[in-house]
Amino acid sequence: MDHDPLHDFELLIRSRYGALLIETAEEDRAESLVESAAWRLQVPVFVWRRATGLRRKGAPSGIYGTQDPKTALDHVVSSDMAALYLFHGLGPELEKPEVADLLREAAHRLAGRSGALVLTGAGVRLPESLRSVVGPVRLPLPVHEDYEGLQARVVQDLSARMGIEVTLTPSDQDRLLANLQGLTLAEAEKLLTRLIVEDGRLDANDIERAVEAKRTLVEQDGLLEYQPSAQSLEGIADLTRLKEWLGKRRRFMEDPQGAAAFGLEFPRGVLLVGVPGCGKSLCAKAVAAAWSLPLVKLDPGALYDKYIGETEQNFRKAMGSAERVAPLVLWIDEIEKAFAAGGGDEDGGVSQRVLGSFLSWLQERRGDVFVVATANDVMQLPPEMLRKGRWDELFFVDLPNETERQVIWNLVIARYQREPNDFDTVQLAKTTEGLTGSEIE
């Protein structure tokens, strides 16, 4: 359960934190939180932006000369007023020692008079000198009800200016709102407005368009790669138990609100281990197609960086991006190459730290991310990765038997636009004993 950010905000101030960090790109939501806290604490609010400088909330203009961050912080240090000073976009300036020192001094001054300096921004990196004086405030992501209210407001506002036809069924409505999950309210508002304005309608076709619009968010950091969905599960020979397992959980995708009301959680993921070339990777693509979810691939090699700390930060960014654009299927191919058991000595422990972060994320992730990981050699995986709770199920993919090979021959022949009945697939299946599906193709 998410904590109440307003309660956390007040608690940190009462704990004599003179500086707080709200790590979010949603300036409006952060400002609303600060204003609510100021009303409870009965103190004024000052807002700093580089363009306007430091300005008291409600005042017609800013304080002269405070566009420069050092001058603005100097003003906070010299002021005797108990207040909340909200600084938008100060993060990059914190790399300068003189700015960090001024912020530290301002935090000490404000801690003694029930005030605070509040930083906002996405990906703010605090220098070591500030980590002990800056308290974190987590702003929870919008929930289903927030997006539902936003959609109603966007439709109402646009209806006053143009004719709009809304033909979403309750199921379509749930799927559309689920695909807005992870977006900020500002991003969701822009997307909904664009979907409606383009054709004057809001219907089931807009669900796929919403998924496509999130593609740019997936690829912007270069750590996740958007993958086109493959054929459905029917195009894969055998794997009967896996298909049955996935088929039952497809009902969650069709009615997420009903499943949640019943007490079911979004599926976590599966680990597919077995012989190379027997369809493990194809399954990952087919799951996304069967569930009508976007498919993104994590290349563990793209995470590793030569600079200290950058690899771990890349991992956090990749997982954060996946959660932002959820629901989706996250495909990690040949996972044993990234998290092999016993590794890490030759890289200074980086791989072990990333493994620890990955295992924690598998257990505690917040977004609706279904992970499909494949492994050719299960013996290389650390034992802690195989335990239940991190994966819903583990499946072994073996060489196809004679019946399965005949199905594979039929599928492959049809894929090449030939008629399977023109071939003796029974004899072909017998003569290809020991071959994988890839080798048959």
Cα 7 from Cα 9, distance rounded (Å)? 5
Q: Mean pLDDT for the chain?
A: 83
Please compute the mean of the pLDDT values over residues 99-116 and round it to a whole number. 90
The confidence score (pLDDT) of residue 229 equals 62
Please compute the mean of the pLDDT values over residues 129-141 and round it to a whole number. 85
Cβ neighbors of 112 (< 8 A, separation 6 or more) are 16, 18
Q: Which one has a higher pLDDT value, 85 or 404?
A: 85
DSSP tag of 61: S
Evaluate if residue 254 carries a pLDDT over 80: no
pLDDT digits (tens, 9 = 90+) for 31-53: 989 999 999 989 999 999 998 89
Q: Three-state DSSP class for 307?
A: coil
Q: What CA dihedral angle connects 9, 12, 13 and 19, to 10 degrees?
A: -90
Please compute the mean of the pLDDT values over residues 232-243 and round it to a whole number. 70
Please compute the mean of the pLDDT values over residues 342-360 and round it to a whole number. 68
The confidence score (pLDDT) of residue 237 equals 65
* Residue 1 binned pLDDT confidence (cut-offs 50, 70, 90): very low
Q: What is the pTM of this model?
A: 0.62
List the single range of 55-64, 216-225, 390-399 with lowest mean pLDDT.
216-225
Q: Three-state DSSP class for 391?
A: strand
Evaluate if residue 230 carries a pLDDT over 90: no
* Residue 99 binned pLDDT confidence (cut-offs 50, 70, 90): very high
Give the pair of three-digit tokens for residue 36: 């609510």
Backbone angles phi, psi at 119, to 5 degrees: -100, 145
The end-to-end CA distance of the chain, in Å, is 49
Evaluate if residue 164 carries a pLDDT over 70: yes
Cα 436 from Cα 438, distance rounded (Å)? 5
> What is the percent of the chain where pLDDT is above 70?
90
* Residue 422 binned pLDDT confidence (cut-offs 50, 70, 90): very high
- Strand locations in 200-356 (E): 201-202, 224-227, 269-274, 295-298, 328-332
